[in-house]
Amino acid sequence: MRPWDAFAAAESEVRAMVADHRWPALPVPARAQAIAARALVTPDGDRWLFGAHARWHLHDPADGRWHLAPPPRGAHARRVGHSAAALPSPVIPRGPDFAAEPGSTQAFIGPDVPAGLTEQVRVLLRTNGRKSERDFPLTAFDEIFAADVPSTVAAVWGTVMWCAYAPAFDGNEGLITVFGEYLRRPLPGDEWVRWLPAPPLLDLVTLVAERLRSGRSREALRLAAVMADTAQILLADARFRPRALALLTMVEPALSRPDLDDRAALRDDRAVRQAWLERCPVRLARAVLAETDPAAHFCHSVYDLAEALAFTGDPAHAAATLLADLSDSRGSLPGHLDHRLRRAYGELARAGLTGTSAAESTQPDGFPVLGPAQPLPADSGRHAPAAPEGEGWHVLARAPGRHVVSGFEIEPPGRASAAAVLGAAYATGLAWGRVSGAKVPERGFAGQSALVRRLVHERDDVPS
């Protein structure tokens, strides 16, 4: 018989309450009281509650804020309740936020995109790649595609990249190679991994809005239809599904009413973008947080990262090790973290181990991946051998001019788990870029590139 789990019990109770059709109509104080009554405390004094977005929140004793944070696996807890009046409204479930599609945090390194999905995109691309660039000028994504490529191709690409949870792909991923003949230059990354940027929704909007302003409503409709067709195909993969659903809800109304965005397009592209976002239902709001609230999107990404690292002995320290890759010249990153993560990140900062991707080269060009307790020799430079088969390995960060100062073991138990960590870490890096303006390294973040070693030597295809 499994031991009683206070976290699972509290979560189950809250889900049942929020699922009741009467929940959205309850006054906010009543909803706050119901949530606050189910707050838990762990032996270390941390206080938790299951709230908005169907996620756990951790109380920060220093300033009273509630941070998104997954609870410790297997931890004992007791119900203590909390002052309902002290709960901020963003923590209280509205109802539709509990209906969000969970999706998958996996990157496209390791588990391949299904062959059937790739073939459908290939057919769609072949059909739309024959359009005239004069009718469909490249008003966005011109840094990716050659000048004579029609924007219908960019619409397919942009939809794939915008819908992807974490657009990091195997160098030989079929879904990416189908675009090869249209590319202007090699994609960021190397033969191991293509670390691709996540385009803003504005880039997709621009393709359509420009045609509307030019009086080419038929072409604008074609571009919107291409985006909808691509998103429909992407629904088959959980790594695309939440954002593909959101994009469909934004684009499909314009297919039945071609003049829907005409007035907004006469103002500017941002007005069209806003019109699209307003059509996205509340139940899919989390899928567009990168557009509507970048700071909240970053916090959700950190939550995903900590969840993906639950197999480690200390997810907070493991997550901090990967967060240490991010460039934070203004020192604002710790303010977005809960107190456990902030403490672990602070330890790395004091050791000079943060912002590592700004100065380090990455695997396979030198980021060290070592076996347990295997220090770098004094004259080793920046290169080190991969861990022997079957041994655990460490992702180690180096301070300039110093030997290895500290390391934290991150050994995913399997391929799917490694892909989930890699995806969540890359999504977090992209989310931080939206908040801070920091650039994403073209050859990947240091710790994530080290994690690639966990996957690159395994077959992508399924043997027949």
Calculate the average pLDDT of the chain: 86
31-71 pLDDT per residue, tens: 999 999 999 999 999 999 999 999 999 999 888 999 999 99
C-beta separation of 91 from 66 below 8 A: yes
Q: Is it the case that residue 213 has pLDDT exceeding 60? A: yes
Summarize pLDDT for 326-356 with one digit per residue, the tens: 999 899 999 999 999 999 999 999 998 888 6
Q: Judge whether 137 and 279 are in contact, CB under 8 Å.
A: no
Yes or no: say if 107 and 422 are a contact pair by the CB < 8 Å rule.
Answer: yes
Identity of the highest mean pLDDT range in 224-228, 378-382, 435-439: 224-228
The pLDDT value recorded for residue 3 is 55
Instruction: Kindly write down the DSSP assignment for every residue of 158-202, as one continuous string.
Output: HHHHHH-SS-EEETT-HHHHTTGGGBSSPPSS-SSEEE-----HH
Pairwise pLDDT comparison (380 vs 429), residue with the higher score: 429
The one-character DSSP state at 19 is: H
What DSSP designation does 66 have? E
Residues 96-125, mean pLDDT to the nearest whole number: 93
CA distances from 31 to 24, 45, 68, 92, 283 (A): 9, 25, 19, 7, 18
Q: Is the pLDDT reported for residue 372 higher than 50? A: no
On the question of pLDDT at 376 being above 90, the answer is no
Is the pLDDT reported for residue 380 higher than 60? no
Share of the chain above pLDDT 90, in %: 71
User: What is the rounded CA–CA span in Å between residue 175 and residue 247?
Assistant: 19
Q: Is 34 helix (H, G, I), strand (E, B) or coil?
A: helix
pLDDT class of 391 with cuts at 50, 70, 90: very low
pLDDT one-digit tens code per residue, 151-161: 999 999 999 99
Measured between its terminal Cα atoms, the distance across the chain in Å is 41
User: Where are the extended beta strands (E) located within 320-456?
Assistant: 369-370, 394-398, 404-409
Alpha carbons 261 and 119: distance in angstroms, whole number: 32
Whether the pLDDT of residue 403 is over 90: the answer is no
Radius of gyration of the chain (CA): 23
pLDDT given for residue 275 in this prediction: 98
Burial profile 1-33: b = 16 or more Cβ within 10 angstroms, e = fewer? eeeebbbeebbeebeebbeeeebeeeeeeebbb
Tens of pLDDT, residue by residue over 1-20, are 345 689 999 999 999 999 99
- Could you tell me which residues come within 8 angstroms of residue 239 by beta carbon, excluding any fewer than 6 positions away? 103, 104, 106, 107, 108, 164, 165, 166, 423
- Tell me, what's the pLDDT at 337? 97
- Contact between 378 and 403 under an 8 Å Cβ cutoff? The reply is yes
Q: How confident is the model at residue 365 (pLDDT cuts 50, 70, 90)?
A: very low
- How confident is the model at residue 171, as a pLDDT? 85
Q: Is the pLDDT of residue 400 over 80?
A: no
Going by pLDDT thresholds of 50, 70 and 90, the confidence category of residue 79 is very high
For residue 181, the model assigns a pLDDT of 93
> Which residues sit opposite 145 in a β-bridge?
183
- d(CA 125, CA 102) in angstroms, rounded, equals 28
